[in-house]
Amino acid sequence: MAKQREKTATGRVLHDPVKDKLRPMFPLDLSKCRTVDELVRAMGDTAFTGRQIGDAADVFETMARDKDCFIVMTLSGALTVGKMGLVFCDLIESGVIKAIVSTGALMAHGLVEATGYKHFRYNPRWATVNCSKPGTTACTIRSSRKRISTTSKK
């Protein structure tokens, strides 16, 4: 007969994390991280979003190394405005990404930049936003975060 685990003062029976094959977490020690790879991998031994970043990096690396894995990149939102375009190009040109499914926003913002316009960061010190200045061709305001995205050839 299997040995029963002892109950705690509250009457709970605690599991053995080693027998349950759980991985321990460790503090993120930046003094031991010399590369971005080491930092991301160390984040995988933490909690919450840090762990998700580490786990995502492991999954992505496994997919990228598997020559039979057909990776479809799905994109949405203003990633061109966020200046991620060169990352996408590198992934496509290196053969990691085989196909893309995208929203229209990404295509529209890319077209804006391909025609010579630029996107600019909002200056949080501005008290008001004036979208009618000469040379400004578009203005988008997100009232919840008070961010603005403008396009201009200047």
**64 close to 96: Cβ distance less than 8 angstroms:** yes
What is the model's pTM? 0.61
pLDDT of 136? 53
Q: How far apart are the first and last CA of the chain?
A: 80
Torsion angles phi and psi, residue 72, rounded to 5: -105, 120
State the pLDDT at residue 128. 56
pLDDT of residue 126: 67
pLDDT for position 12? 87
Structure tokens at 119: 């996107």
Which ranges of the chain have pLDDT less than 50? 1, 140-148
Would you state the pLDDT for residue 146? 45
Burial readout 94-126 (b: 16 or more C-beta within 10 A, e: otherwise): eeebeeeebeeebeebbebeeeebebeeeeeee
pLDDT of residue 121: 78
Per-residue pLDDT tens for 88-123?
999 999 999 999 998 888 878 888 888 888 887 777
pLDDT score of 122: 74
